[in-house]
C-alpha cells in the first residue's frame, strides 16, 4: 500500500508483531523499521518516565529512515509493574513460573510509553496505564502455560491477546495498551502532533 499523498508517512520503530498487527487493524499505511537504541532500566517509581524515554530513543534511532521532512516515526515501550517491582521478560521457564505465581490473584499495572518523532513536527511523548487483575491460578495452570512459547517475549510473562487471556479476571483501561500499543492514546496524540484531524487519516 502507498501512503496518501497529503498525509505524512508513518514509520513504526518496532520489531514487535503485536504492535504491527494493531496498526494494521487500524488500516493505517506504515512501514516497519528496526530500532537501534539501548533501553533504560526502570524501577516502580519512574516507570512512566522510562517507558516514554525508551519509546523516544527507539523513534529517534529510526529517524535516519525518514525520506521526507514530514515523516513521523512511532516508538513504543511497555513495562509491567507488580507492587513496587518492574517485571521484564522471563529468561527461562523457571522465571516465567515465578512471575506468573506472583501475579496470581493480584492487581498489576501495564505502562506503555508512546513517542512520535519528525524532522518537521518535532518530538512528542506520552504514556498510558492499564490495571489488570489476575485470577487465582493453580500451579498446574502456571506450569502448563510456562511450557508454551507464549510467555518468553512478553513483559510479565503473559500475552493478553493469547492464552494469557484465560488468566484475566478484570481490566481497567485500554486493552490494546496491555498488548503493548495503546490505540486511543496514539490516535489522539497523532492528530495533535501532526495538526491533521483524525478523519483525514481515515478518510
Known catalytic residues?
Answer: 77
Rounded CA-CA distance 77/173 in Å is 17
- Residue 91 phi/psi, 5-degree rounding, is -85, -30
Residue that has been written with the C-alpha cell 491533521 in this structure? 196
> Nearest CA to 3 among 28, 34, 33?
28
Query: What is the grid cell recorded at 46?
Result: 519512574
Amino acid at each position: 500500500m502507498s501512503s496518501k499523498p497529503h498525509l505524512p508517512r508513518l514509520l513504526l520503530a518496532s520489531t514487535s508483531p503485536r504492535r504491527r498487527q494493531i496498526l494494521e487493524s487500524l488500516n493505517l499505511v506504515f512501514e516497519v523499521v528496526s530500532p537501534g537504541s539501548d533501553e533504560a532500566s526502570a524501577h516502580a517509581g519512574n516507570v512512566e518516565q522510562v517507558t516514554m524515554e525508551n519509546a523516544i530513543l527507539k523513534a529517534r534511532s529510526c529517524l535516519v529512515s525518514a525520506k521526507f521532512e514530514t515523516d513521523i516515526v512511532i516508538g513504543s515501550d511497555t513495562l509491567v509493574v507488580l507492587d513496587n517491582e518492574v517485571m521484564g521478560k522471563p529468561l527461562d521457564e523457571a522465571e516465567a513460573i515465578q512471575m506468573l505465581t506472583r501475579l496470581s490473584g493480584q492487581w498489576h499495572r501495564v505502562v506503555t510509553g508512546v513517542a512520535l518523532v519528525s524532522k518537521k513536527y518535532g518530538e512528542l511523548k506520552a504514556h498510558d496505564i492499564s490495571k489488570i487483575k489476575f485470577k487465582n491460578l493453580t500451579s498446574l495452570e502456571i506450569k502448563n502455560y510456562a511450557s508454551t512459547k507464549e510467555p518468553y517475549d512478553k513483559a510479565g510473562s503473559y500475552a493478553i491477546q493469547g492464552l494469557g487471556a484465560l488468566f484475566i479476571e478484570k481490566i481497567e483501561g485500554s486493552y490494546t495498551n496491555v498488548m503493548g500499543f495503546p490505540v486511543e492514546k496514539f490516535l489522539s496524540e497523532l492528530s495533535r502532533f501532526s495538526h491533521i484531524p483524525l478523519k483525514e487519516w481515515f478518510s
